[in-house]
Structure 1
Amino acid sequence: WKAGDLEAAVVSAGGCAAVMHVRETWLASAPGAATATATPVVVSERRLPAGRAPAESDSPLSGTASPFSGVRVLDMTRVIAGPVCTKFLAAYGAQVLRLDPPGFAEVPALLPETTAGKRTAALDLRVDADRGIFENLVADTDVLVTGLRADALAGLGYGDGTLTAINPALIVASLNAYGWDGPWRHRRGFDSLVQMSCGIAAAGSLAVGRDEPFPLPVQALDHATGYLLAAAVGRALTRRLTRSTVSRIRASLIGTANLLWSLPRPADLPPAPSPRDFELVDTNTEWGPARRVPLPGSIAGVTAAWQIGAGPLGRHYPAW
């Protein structure tokens, strides 16, 4: 197979694939040119309708040790980037309810990490009864975070206009792989594929002198995008309270890749770390005791903690 033909065949069959490009070739392509200036996060705002602004005395952001205490987050994300965002919000007090289709099979090794602090439920948005439950949830939600393709939720009848009609104060934060402009805005993808497409894997192979893809040693685009998205949600909650505005947040892995490309690169490869190089903390999961890397960063005077242990998907009832 020629690389481009194989990529096209896999994608047309509903799968995910990416040709390895050097940076210059990617930027010369239609999807690369369309996203060449994409930033990690883009935010648009609209005014809250009169009478819908939350009162400061009722705000979950005031007078509490946990900044997001009382904030309700509906989590429709998968794998790493989106779950990193919602796990961060949960660590600082948010009620996070993750929704998946019934029987959805996530990458098993990720669940002990990405479901920490969250309740998990299953809904089929093609079934009328489940749609009713979903709409009731949305009506009482502060933030909806999605990691679906650009058209996926709208295709189920829940575009921005419909969500706003259900809940005018709803903050919607979405992320996708290849950005929100250009011919690949609807394409399935994930961190490893974006590294292949945008030139990162090729730059790695050149740096180490190997005739094969050499991506970053971690899913850096996923993790960085997740934390940037969480920061944008925190700012959106503050602006809803202080300025009576509602934010629509869009993030992308390709935007984060562009940011990474803009940063200086070290002259030499850093030494490969081992698990012994990192502090680990004891934790409990529904699969048993475990050890994990603590949440990065800190907020002065606030202790991050997940009140719900990690566990399987679909184990709770879909209600606040």
Structure 2
Amino acid sequence: MSISNNLINRTSFSAADVVKDIWTSLQLPPHALSSLTLPGHQAAPATPSSFKIGHLAQSSIALSALSASLLHSTQSSPSSSPVSRVSVPLEHALVEFKSERLYDIDKQPLEDPWGSIGGLHKTADGYVRIHDNFPCHALGTLELLGLPPSASRQDVAAKVAQWKSVDLETAGTEKGKLAIYALRSYSEWDAHPQSVAIDNNPILVRQFAPGPPKNPSTTKSSSRCLQGVRVLEMSRVIAAPVAGKTLAAHGADVLWITSPNLPNQPVLDRDLSRGKRTIRLDIHNSDEKDRLLELLRTCDVFIQGYRPGSLASYGFSPEELQKINPNIICANLSAFGPSGPWSQRRGFDSLVQTCSGMNISEAEHFGAGEPARAMPCQALDHAGGYLLATGVMAALYNRSRVGGSWVVDVSLAGVMKYLRSLGQYPGKTGFESQDFVKQADVPAEYFETRDTGFGKMTAVRHSASVEGCEVGWGEMPKPLGSDEAKWL
């Protein structure tokens, strides 16, 4: 497989090499790496894909757990103190990368979270992928195509066929408020200015403003690595919620804020809200906006996964937040990162796969003549979430030593670029491995069954363990807005 001129060649990397590479880029203490064990790692394919998703799953979850262990070990000890041992088994990590597809409540099958008009459509000169999970995207796409709300998928296909791919992408995604991307090859993506603008490091952590060192509100001895860390999360879909869920697994108090004005995603939310308390606030209401600002004034971390700039327009930019909370860590999950012509664009895992050449390359490796083939899980979303959590913990570590406010950026495109740099398995060999499509495919020990606000839930346990520490979720899913808007 060829590696593009603007990609670092990491084709020889193991999962341990990935951890070391990203850990080193974050300038975290190298002695911690000796505390990591990665059972089951193999050079062979671990899930049906030409991409090295097994490497990505095991390493991204390991990075988050090792960061948590580092924070726990250094809360009251010197920075060179031993770090509790961390273990992340490969198979369990891969299963967790599909957690939102592998749970049930009261043994009932999950509803399909996808809309009826989305997916891949043929255009006059190629293909586009339409994202229709949210009603506003589906209805907006129909309006753009001149179709009524009752239009069928066949109606959409007929209209899309009259467009050129990039023209429809531009009309929908750049000029409109939709999520439509043209299917590109690697060579087409590599020639695009946004491709070059994406950093080779998937986690970007920078000090935003100086200040005195600060630890979380509670630093008392605890079996929970992140006890006392206060996290405010405003997010949608998968990637940013995975970050909050990961911090919660290590003991952070995570308040997940949703808006009563926006549609929810029940199938995704019930897996991704584990560990979190849920509150509803309307930032258009002055009293509720003040309540949010009070929470921001007293939090450690603010995670947001909305389109870049959208929350800033309501007064929630890093600049504004730093004024009210000089120690805040602002963590952003975006589609394309903070730089480049697409930095303000919305996007989702499947769309980044589409526009970056991944889908075409996957189809070519599979060899069935398809125009495009998606990866077997939302790997960019899941890895992006674990990497954002890692960046947050790196910022917490830095804040405890040098102080100040910090900004963390992770993008789906940055994860894509890193995964591509690991290379691909030759020919169809990557697809000669098992997949975890349903619960029956998964070893029983990877599940836990708990009571929730919706019934009895059987879902994937967290795959990381930290020696001597409790890892897992206390809070279980419940109806949105069930909790009080205050810290524990």
TM (norm. structure 1) is 0.93
Aligned equivalent of 2:303, options 145, 167, 171: 145
Q: Within 5 A, what are the aligned runs for 1:28-177?
A: 28-35=191-198, 37-46=199-208, 48-50=210-212, 53-54=213-214, 60-61=218-219, 63-177=221-335
Q: Residues 204 and 215 of structure 1 are in contact (CA less than 8 Å); yes or no, is this contact kept in structure 2?
A: yes
Q: Residues 18 and 193 of structure 1 are in contact (CA less than 8 Å); yes or no, is this contact kept in structure 2?
A: yes
Q: Residues 144 and 172 of structure 1 are in contact (CA less than 8 Å); yes or no, is this contact kept in structure 2?
A: yes
Q: Residues 38 and 179 of structure 1 are in contact (CA less than 8 Å); yes or no, is this contact kept in structure 2?
A: no
**In structure 2, how many angstroms separate the alpha carbons of the residues matched to 1:103 and 1:116?**
22
Q: Which amino acid aligns with 1:137?
A: L
**1:190-237 CA-partner distances (Å, limit 9, x unpaired):** 100000011111111111123232011000001111111111111211
- Does residue 27 of structure 1 match 2:190? yes
Cross-structure match for 1:10: 172
Shift of 1:70: 1.1
Q: Residues 335 and 348 of structure 2 are in contact (CA less than 8 Å); yes or no, is this contact kept in structure 1?
A: yes
- What secondary structure, in the 3-state scheme, does the structure 1 residue paired with 2:241 have? helix
Q: Which amino acid aligns with 1:107?
A: Q
**1:34-85 CA-partner distances (Å, limit 9, x unpaired):** 32x44311111156435xx33x6x7545521111111110001111111111
Cross-structure match for 1:226: 385
**1:87-138 CA-partner distances (Å, limit 9, x unpaired):** 0111111111011211432222112211111111111222211221111111
Identity %: 33
Aligned equivalent of 1:250, options 392, 405, 409: 409
Q: Which amino acid aligns with 2:373?
A: F
Tell which structure's C-alpha radius of gyration is larger.
2
Inter-CA distance 137–308: structure 2 relative to 1 (3 Å threshold): same
Cross-structure match for 1:213: 372
Q: Residues 112 and 285 of structure 1 are in contact (CA less than 8 Å); yes or no, is this contact kept in structure 2?
A: no
Cross-structure match for 1:283: 450
**In structure 2, how many angstroms separate the alpha carbons of the residues matched to 1:285 and 1:21?**
43
**In structure 1, how many angstroms separate the alpha carbons of the residues matched to 2:481 and 2:262?**
9
- What secondary structure, in the 3-state scheme, does the structure 1 residue paired with 2:473 have? coil
Q: Residues 96 and 118 of structure 1 are in contact (CA less than 8 Å); yes or no, is this contact kept in structure 2?
A: yes
**In structure 2, how many angstroms separate the alpha carbons of the residues matched to 1:227 and 1:174?**
13
Q: Which amino acid aligns with 2:233?
A: D
TM (norm. structure 2) is 0.62
Cross-structure match for 2:340: 182
Matched residue count = 315
Cross-structure match for 1:273: 435
Aligned equivalent of 2:354, options 185, 196, 220: 196
- What secondary structure, in the 3-state scheme, does the structure 1 residue paired with 2:181 have? coil
Q: Which amino acid aligns with 2:415?
A: T
Q: Which amino acid aligns with 1:8?
A: T
RMSD: 1.8
Q: Residues 68 and 93 of structure 1 are in contact (CA less than 8 Å); yes or no, is this contact kept in structure 2?
A: yes
- What secondary structure, in the 3-state scheme, does the structure 2 residue paired with 1:172 have? strand
**In structure 2, how many angstroms separate the alpha carbons of the residues matched to 1:246 and 1:10?**
36
Unaligned runs of 5+ in 1: none
**In structure 2, how many angstroms separate the alpha carbons of the residues matched to 1:14 and 1:127?**
23
**In structure 2, how many angstroms separate the alpha carbons of the residues matched to 1:111 and 1:158?**
24
- What secondary structure, in the 3-state scheme, does the structure 2 residue paired with 1:18 have? strand
**1:119-172 CA-partner distances (Å, limit 9, x unpaired):** 111112222112211111111101001112221121112211110011001111
Q: Which one is further off, 208-217 or 81-90?
A: 208-217
Shift of 1:313: 2.2
Q: Residues 149 and 185 of structure 1 are in contact (CA less than 8 Å); yes or no, is this contact kept in structure 2?
A: no
Q: Residues 307 and 334 of structure 2 are in contact (CA less than 8 Å); yes or no, is this contact kept in structure 1?
A: yes
Inter-CA distance 262–62: structure 2 relative to 1 (3 Å threshold): farther
Give the structure, 1 or 2, with the largest relative contact order (CA under 8 Å, sep 6 or more): 1
Q: Which amino acid aligns with 1:3?
A: S
Unaligned runs of 5+ in 2: 1-162
Shift of 1:241: 1.5
**In structure 1, how many angstroms separate the alpha carbons of the residues matched to 2:322 and 2:386?**
25
Cross-structure match for 1:235: 394
